[in-house]
Amino acid sequence: PLDGPAALTARGLIRDFRGFRAVDQVDLTVAAGSVHALVGPNGAGKTTLFNLLTGFLAPTAGRIELDGHDITGLPPERVARLGVARSFQITSLFPQQTARTHVELALQSGTGLGWRFWRSHRLLERFSARAGELLDLVGLGDAGDTLAGSLAYGRKRALELAIALALDPKVLLLDEPTAGMGLEDVDRTVELIAAVRDGRTVVLVEHNMSVVGRLADAVTVLQAGRVLVEGPYEQVRTDPRVIEAYLGS
């Protein structure tokens, strides 16, 4: 999938925080339908880059394109509507709402129409059916009525994935999907991501290199805000600069 057209590109991306350059002239090309991993030591700028790509932060300079269209500086809701979805953070789940309600609300928000509209038109059944499918897809078919607050950690992350998928995104950004997980949950999450990618473009920030190796077609290594190396996983893994950066950090 690396030879195809670009789904998401960044050119000369810069982000300063009060004189500190967290992202420094980053060029990134994410091929359509590929899984592209962003890796690098702590403080390398991965989170800042994610925030730039999703509109949560505006770049100081540079340009971001989605399917060849300029999306630089658009607010996060617009970027999301155009098809870039980000896995939600666990803190944004509502502990007292069921898993199904979370997915239904995400489906409704994707239509751009408010809750009142859907309630008045009694079309909630349709969302309910689609929510059920998405919950099945992420392995939460039995947990629709479970309160989000009662789900085990790995299952909360699966719910976030279902919420992100509800928007049927062109590009799915996953922020450390296996962070804090034990081996079993890591394996399950890798299988889950492999199952849901289905022709979709996925960008993931991931510390676990075994996960990167199992999922990623391409890898961009960031260091001190800059791209250190970019390329297919096998090539990047054996690059002396990458080995040095990892051993040295």
Q: Which of 9, 29, 34, 47 binds ligand ADP (CB under 6 A)?
A: 47
Q: Residue 223's closest CA among 50, 40, 12?
A: 40
| Residue corresponding to tokens 């260091």 | 223
- What span, in angstroms and rounded, lies between the C-alpha atoms of 113 and 221? 40
Query: For residues 159 and 227, which CB has a smaller minimum distance to ligand ADP in the complex?
Result: 227
Q: Which of 3, 42, 129, 183 binds ligand ADP (CB under 6 A)?
A: 42
- What span, in angstroms and rounded, lies between the C-alpha atoms of 27 and 129? 41
Least distance from ligand ADP to the Cβ atom of residue 47, Å = 3
Q: State yes or no: residue 46 binds ligand ADP (CB under 6 A).
A: yes
Least distance from ligand ADP to the Cβ atom of residue 48, Å = 3
Q: Which of 33, 45, 83, 139 binds ligand ADP (CB under 6 A)?
A: 45
Q: State yes or no: residue 223 binds ligand ADP (CB under 6 A).
A: no
Q: Between vectors from CA 14 to CA 63 and to CA 232, what angle results, nearest 5°?
A: 75
Least distance from ligand ADP to the Cβ atom of residue 52, Å = 10
180: left (phi over 0), alpha (psi -120 to 50) or beta: left
Least distance from ligand ADP to the Cβ atom of residue 225, Å = 7
Which residues does residue 230 pair with via DSSP β-bridges, in sequence order? 220
Q: Residue 51's closest CA among 29, 73, 70?
A: 73
Q: Which of 28, 33, 40, 202 binds ligand ADP (CB under 6 A)?
A: 40
- What span, in angstroms and rounded, lies between the C-alpha atoms of 81 and 59? 20
Q: State yes or no: residue 59 binds ligand ADP (CB under 6 A).
A: no
- The piece of 14-22, 60-68, 196-204, 231-239 that touches ligand ADP (CB under 6 A) is 14-22
Q: State yes or no: residue 43 binds ligand ADP (CB under 6 A).
A: yes
Least distance from ligand ADP to the Cβ atom of residue 15, Å = 8
Q: Residue 206's closest CA among 244, 185, 180, 167?
A: 180
Q: State yes or no: residue 55 binds ligand ADP (CB under 6 A).
A: no
**For residue 119, which amino acid is it?**
R
| Residue corresponding to tokens 């510390």 | 207
Least distance from ligand ADP to the Cβ atom of residue 64, Å = 16
Which residues of the shown chain bind ligand ADP in the complex (CB under 6 A)? Answer: 17, 20, 22, 40, 42-48
